[in-house]
């Protein structure tokens, strides 16, 4: 669905439509499907957490840069912040050792986040990551517990302790996106940046997939 085809549709509807194919691609990369099916290892998950740490540090810095803009309060939310819990997860997962390296694809994603300084750009990346964590992320957590014998430790990233009920929270977040004071150009920018955000995420999975393959 193009933005120009439906100029008056709520931005959350445009976002969902514009990223649907990219979502399917990300969700069906070998790394994600192998991890979810129990064919990889906690080491592979640890490598993913290390990528997340770099990405969320940059995303949450961007959130602080745009925090004063009208409409930002409803999107830049302390209950979503993941940087501190990721550090805790990585400490658990590595036993206090060195974290796995940040990959080239992650560096590119982080670079993109560090060049942005507008609320539409933040909204695009926050939508892609946080609504993803509150959706498929919950399934990833369950699969890590089921297939790799994990409990709660190491999975704090997927546990939003300050969000009592995820479905109404996601609905409210979509409403906040819809209420952003954006003109048509801003809406188009937001949707284009969300597509880019999905591409960055897919590239990280592809690179992780080259490093981690199921045992033969
Ligand atoms: C294990 C892989 C994944 C599974 C099983 C999965 C599953 C889902 C499901 C079932 C929903 C719909 C939830 C709802 O409407 O309440 C959803 C939404 C979403 N997912 Fe994923 N997902 C996965 C990976 C990803 C990835 C890698 C990203 C992006 C980095 C992502 C981003 C999103 C976003 C942004 C939404 C919200 C869509 C919207 O309602 O506008 N997901 N996911």
What is the residue-averaged pLDDT of the chain? 96
- Tell me the torsion sign for CA atoms 47, 48, 52, 55: positive
Q: For residue 59, what pLDDT is reported?
A: 99
Q: What is the DSSP letter of 7?
A: T
**Ligand 1 centroid from CA 142, angstroms:** 15
Asked if pLDDT for residue 5 goes beyond 80, the answer is no
Q: Say if residues 85 and 177 touch (Cβ distance below 8 Å).
A: no
Averaged over 160-179, what is the pLDDT? 98
At 153-163, the pLDDT tens digits run 999 999 999 99
At how many degrees (to 10) do helices 136-148 and 42-66 cross? Answer: 150
What is the Cα–Cα distance from 53 to 114, expressed in whole angstroms?
A: 14
Tell me if 216 is assigned to some domain. no
Specify the number of domains making up the chain.
1
| Ligand 1 surroundings by CB, under 6 angstroms | 12, 15-16, 23, 26-27, 32, 36, 127-128, 131-132, 135-136, 139-140, 170, 198, 201
- Residue 123 sits in a domain whose CATH number is 1.20.910.10
The range of the structural domain enclosing residue 42 comes to: 11-211
Asked if pLDDT for residue 120 goes beyond 80, the answer is yes
Q: What is the DSSP letter of 3?
A: T
Tell me if 1 is assigned to some domain. no
Report which ligand 1 atom has the smallest distance to the Cα of 36. Answer: 1
Tell me if 94 is assigned to some domain. yes
Tell me if 5 is assigned to some domain. no
| Count of Cβ atoms closer than 10 Å to residue 26 Cβ | 23
* Distance in angstroms between the alpha carbons of the first and the last residue of the chain: 41
The residue count of the chain comes to 216
Tell me if 48 is assigned to some domain. yes
Of the pLDDT bands very low, low, confident and very high (cuts 50, 70, 90), residue 215 is confident
Quick one: how many helices (H) and strands (E) in the chain? 10, 0
């Amino acid at each position: 669905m193009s933005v120009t085809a439906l100029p008056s549709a709520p931005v959350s509807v445009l976002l969902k439509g514009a990223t649907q194919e990219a979502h399917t691609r990300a969700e069906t990369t070998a790394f994600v499907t192998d991890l979810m099916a129990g064919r990889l290892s906690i080491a592979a998950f640890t490598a993913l957490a290390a990528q997340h740490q770099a990405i969320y540090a940059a995303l949450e810095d961007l959130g602080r840069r745009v925090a004063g803009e009208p409409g930002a309060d409803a999107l830049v939310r302390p209950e979503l912040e993941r940087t501190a819990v990721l550090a805790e997860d990585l400490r658990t997962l590595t036993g206090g050792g060195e974290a796995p390296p940040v990959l080239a694809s992650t560096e590119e994603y982080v670079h993109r986040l560090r060049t942005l300084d507008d609320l539409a750009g933040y909204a695009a990346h926050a939508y892609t990551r946080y609504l993803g964590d509150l959706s498929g992320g919950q399934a990833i957590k369950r699969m890590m517990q089921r297939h790799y014998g994990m409990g709660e430790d190491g999975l704090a990233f997927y546990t939003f302790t300050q969000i009592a009920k995820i479905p109404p929270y996601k609905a409210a977040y979509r409403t906040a996106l819809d209420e952003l004071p954006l003109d048509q150009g801003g809406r188009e920018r937001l949707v284009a940046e969300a597509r880019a955000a999905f591409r960055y995420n897919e590239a990280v999975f592809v690179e992780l997939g080259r490093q981690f393959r199921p045992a033969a």
